Amino acid sequence: MILTGTIALCILAAYVGGALWLVVRLGLTLHQALLYLPLKLLYRIDDARMRRVRKAEAPVVYVVCHQARLDPALMLSLLPDDTLHILDEASARSHWLEPWRELARTIAFNAEHVFVSRRLVRVLKGKGRLAVYLPDDVEPGTKAFRLYRAVARIALRADAKVVPVFVAGARHLPFSLTPRRKARRRLFPKLTVSTLEPLTISDLMARNVTQPARASNALFDRLAETRLEATGPTRTLFLATLQAAFTNGARRIAVEDTGGEALDYRRLLIRTRLVGLKLAAITAPGEAVGIMLPNGSDLVLTLLGLSSSSRVAAMLDYSASPDAVTEAVRTALVRTVISSRAFAEKANLGDVVDAAEKGGTRFVWIEDLQARMSLADRIAAASFWWWPVHAQDAEKPAAIMFTPGSEGKPKTVVLSADNIMANAMQIAARISFGPGDKLLNVLPAYHAFGLTGGIALPLATGMRLFLYPSPLHYHIISEVADEIHPTILLGTDAVLAGYAQNAKPGAFSSLRFALVAAEPVRAETRREWREHFGMEIVEGYGLTEASPAVSVNTTTHGREGSAGRLLPAMKMRLAPVEGIAEGGRLLIQGPNLMLGYMSAEAPGTLQPLGEGWFDTGDVVSVDRDGFITVLDRASRFAHIGSDMVSLGTVEALAQKLWPEERHAAIAVAAVARGERIVLVTTSEDADCEEIRRSERLGKSSPLLPDEIVKVARMPLLGSGKIDYSAVRHLIDEQTGNEAAA
């Protein structure tokens, strides 16, 4: 009896001691600490940032992403005890929450409390504190977004600071509010309380340097930043995939391809270690290793193997000219290229292989690597599948991308794992993805969107990834989609237009949306997808140097014709451009911006990006809601007399008249007017007079092309975009003009 009592007293003393430690460490009251301690122990809560939250000067509004029934208990335990908590009706009535509701004042949530906000404004103006629980919707609908407007209005009127709070891991709790298809349930997931520094709504609105943002959008963006912050320190592709395996289950299917390969996370990581060890034996840490593989499981295994062994993936464009491939391997000092003998033969890449070898590289065939994997290797890999081959550092170079130079000289862009994974998580903080989704990726990995959006994003978020080797198999891809039932399709405007023209009506019926970047989406493509498939296209904007996404629309928060809103943790400003009244040259900052360039003049040497703003080279306009509209590349404005004319606008005029065809406008030097416009088109009916009559333009309008060149086939890049460099050469050949701009 004495022993039992002694043990009980020791346990009680330890419990009280732990509570007192929380009082000292976080500044909680003893009552709060006593109720919080068991939650902290059960869920191993990382609460290091809560001291800053508690010290926020009143008036303050704590905006909590409400993911699970546990959130009010956590916040009542951790926030200052003078905070007024506005609880949803279920939390206000829950019997189990009664002990925590005694820690602070609470009121039940309903529409009247939100929209009749005078009382809440008075509370805040009296140096009060509010805790508001907003639904954890990455893409809030119209009804949910009204809450953002109401909360922003309250905070703005009271000039209160806003502190966003996100509990990472809460969506995986057994009593999560997130549907099971979006988040696998775990009994005791580790929780991390993430938050950002207190800022007023006015401060948040003023961060849009172009023009002040709307209060509701500023608050929405702040919560998106918190959601991004909650993903934790940026990881390499290997570590992000490993984390996804632990979160979503190692037996969950991660990658599929047309060869019938279906790899769960465990098998994927076992084979990753095998590939990584073989690559580590023939290359050095930090070495640039070329990849020349089509979309498939071998591509993913090679990327993960290079990541695990801390090698740099040089993504070679096998659709490029032999000279471009030779220059690429020389610029990046690629000494080894991983490819498939079967692929090289089937795709007739003999000249590309010869060009790479001419640049000083050797080819290692994936078939030979796999043949050298012994039984002992496989057993060892199965025993240590969670262990990287080499120490990981997300800040070092991870990928080298070679821009095609569609409008000028190609560039060699160096990205870190930090850049790529930050960009993937930025997209995930804007668009709702999860284990219930299956992504069909047809874009090649040498395309930055194909690498980040088509491989890194699904691997890190638990989406099931299906890889198809070419975006140009228009008839086949719709049949594949009918068989595998994807929910998301990745593509470009050019390939989606091809699907609309070749697929049967009703195809792609399983899709939630198609996510498109790389070029503006034409109105005709949108119309065809709505009519044929009843499907919306979600458009984004980016560039390789930004890993590549910069902005994106969402299905609930978008504006047709725009490229969407800036991704979380990014900043932008516009530099004035002579001759353009509305809009300017887009300058950006963000964690997804590249490390720098490499050049042929200094092979293998990184030329760091440096501090300050990065000039995208694009001329854009930004509206009050933050939606970006890309007007054109700065290099694609023609000087016609005293006017600046967007060549993209000229193309759009032709597209309206002949929507089934492809059109490219080029500026050519002219003695009298500075430059003149040549329209290259696949339309046999294209006529300048028809454009003039249709748009009611004057005969001297600068938007009218001076010449029309008709071609049977428009030069395209492997991604489906127009190859403007090839178009210029075509014009030179047909007109003899060497001054095409």
**Active site members:** 66
The string of DSSP codes covering 435-454 is TT-EEEE-S-TTSHHHHIII
* CA max distance for the chain: 107
Residue 463 in contact with residue 690, Cβ under 8 Å?
Answer: no
Q: What SS3 class is residue 49?
A: coil
The torsion angles phi and psi of 257, rounded to 5 degrees, stand at -145, 180
Residue 60 in contact with residue 161, Cβ under 8 Å?
Answer: yes
Residue 564: how many other CB atoms lie within 10 Å: 25
**3-state secondary structure labels for all residues of 525-572:** HHHHHHHHHCCCEEEEEECHHHCCEEEECCCCCCCCCCCCEECCCCEE
Residue 124 in contact with residue 61, Cβ under 8 Å?
Answer: yes
Q: Cα torsion for 519, 524, 529, 531, to the nearest 10°?
A: 170
The string of DSSP codes covering 103-151 is TSEEEE--HHHHHS-HHHHHHHHTT-EEEEEEE--SS--HHHHHHHHHH
Q: Which of 708, 664, 706, 707 is nearest to 684 (CA)?
A: 708
Burial code of 241-265, b = ≥16 C-beta within 10 A, e = fewer?
bbbbbebbbbebbbbbbbeebebbb
Residue 694: which residues within 8 A CB-CB, separation 6 or more? Answer: 653, 656, 657
The torsion angles phi and psi of 199, rounded to 5 degrees, stand at -140, 145
Q: Which of 143, 161, 247 is nearest to 204 (CA)?
A: 161
Residue 19 CA, chain-centre distance (Å), reads 41
Residue 549 in contact with residue 423, Cβ under 8 Å?
Answer: yes
Residue 225 in contact with residue 568, Cβ under 8 Å?
Answer: yes
Q: What SS3 class is residue 156?
A: helix
Helix ranges restricted to H, 347-397: 350-358, 366-371, 375-383
Residue 242 in contact with residue 229, Cβ under 8 Å?
Answer: no
The torsion angles phi and psi of 303, rounded to 5 degrees, stand at -60, -45
CA pair distance 515, 485, nearest whole angstrom: 16
Provide the strand spans (E) within 251-346. Answer: 253-257, 262-264, 288-292, 312-315, 336-339
CA pair distance 280, 275, nearest whole angstrom: 8
